[in-house]
């Protein structure tokens, strides 16, 4: 089964998305739902997906779980809870025991939007992530270069927890900057409890002029340091539409992994996601 391990749904007509302001994001400031993604998946030969949170809202998480129950291609959900709440376990239990609760596979907080670059390393956050891990839930890490040291810290403090780094930590591809991103990625990859999503790259490149060659040095670092068994493909749809269509993202990932064996590509395009998130495939 080929899996897209990272996409979103949203509806700005019914919910506020603080990160979606400004003219640059106006092309995606509209509803996106399962019926919009389904034909793209079919065209790209993608069989299943992981639906990922977009705002700090338990209500959205519950909605996504209900969506997974009625959407055949959604195999798992990465939701949100307040990791700093001492009663976070109650919130997790309510989601897992509610409608579609079996689809809850992970939790994510938009850490790169926090003023504190060490937010992920705070004791209260670590305690919240430990509660997630105790319930078999993966922790997605939405971080940039600034937050990678905190990612390293929490991965060390919670060696039994499973972490997934989203969007290869959003390197500054448009600026062709490799450091300190590369050194931090190499260090993070030394933690066996961390895997990485090969996703979100084209929107970190020049939106209207990127090429696969622009992405290649960054993809090579990830594939070499994590290895295919700890890398998973994600489209980041519909955010990706700012810089390219769904098919373009899949095609770019196919080219970037063309040097791998068939079995290794199978891991990147499904096997790793199925194992790490515990998807029914």
SS3 at position 20: helix
Quick check: 274 and 47 in contact, CB under 8 A? no
Q: State the pTM of this model.
A: 0.97
Residue 39 CA to chain centroid, in angstroms?
21
Q: Flag whether pLDDT at 223 surpasses 90.
A: yes
Three-state DSSP state, 94: helix
DSSP category for residue 61: H
pLDDT digits (tens, 9 = 90+) for 151-182: 999 999 999 999 999 999 999 999 999 999 99
Residue 104 to residue 106: CA distance in whole angstroms:
6
The residue among 273, 193, 256, 251 whose CA lies nearest residue 226 is: 193
Please tell me whether residue 74 adopts helix, strand or coil conformation: strand
The pLDDT of residue 265 is 98
CATH superfamily of 3-277: Metal-dependent hydrolases (3.20.20.140)
Residue extents of the structural domains in the chain: 3-277
pLDDT more than 90, % of the chain: 99
pLDDT band at 281 (very low <50, low <70, confident <90, very high): confident
Contacts of 118 (CB under 8 A, 6+ apart): 149, 150, 153
Rounded to whole angstroms, the Cα distance separating 72 from 75 reads 7
> Looking at residue 122, what is its pLDDT?
98
């Amino acid at each position: 089964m080929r899996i897209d391990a990272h996409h979103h749904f949203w509806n700005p007509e019914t919910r506020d998305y603080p990160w979606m302001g400004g003219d640059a994001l106006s092309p995606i400031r509209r509803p996106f739902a399962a019926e919009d993604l389904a034909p793209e998946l079919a065209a790209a030969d993608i069989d299943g997906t992981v639906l990922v949170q977009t705002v700090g809202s338990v209500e959205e998480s519950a909605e996504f779980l209900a969506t997974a129950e009625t959407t055949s291609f959604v195999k798992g959900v990465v939701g949100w809870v307040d990791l700093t709440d001492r009663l976070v376990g109650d919130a997790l239990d309510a989601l897992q025991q509610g409608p579609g609760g079996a689809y809850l596979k992970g939790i994510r907080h938009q850490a790169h939007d926090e003023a504190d670059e060490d937010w992920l390393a705070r004791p209260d956050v670590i305690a919240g992530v430990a509660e997630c891990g105790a319930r078999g839930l993966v922790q997605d890490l939405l971080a940039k270069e600034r937050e990678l040291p905190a990612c390293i810290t929490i991965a060390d403090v919670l060696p039994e927890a499973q972490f997934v780094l989203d969007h290869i930590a959003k390197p500054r591809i448009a600026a062709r900057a490799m450091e300190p991103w590369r050194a931090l990625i190499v260090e993070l990859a030394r933690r066996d409890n961390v895997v990485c999503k090969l996703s979100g790259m084209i929107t970190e490149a020049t939106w209207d002029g990127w090429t696969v060659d622009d992405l290649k040095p960054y993809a090579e670092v990830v594939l070499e340091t994590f290895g295919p068994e700890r890398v998973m493909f994600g489209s980041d749809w519909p955010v990706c539409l700012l810089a390219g269509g769904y098919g373009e993202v899949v095609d770019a990932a196919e080219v970037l992994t063309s040097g791998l064996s068939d079995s290794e590509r199978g891991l990147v395009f499904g096997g790793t996601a199925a194992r790490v998130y515990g998807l029914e495939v």
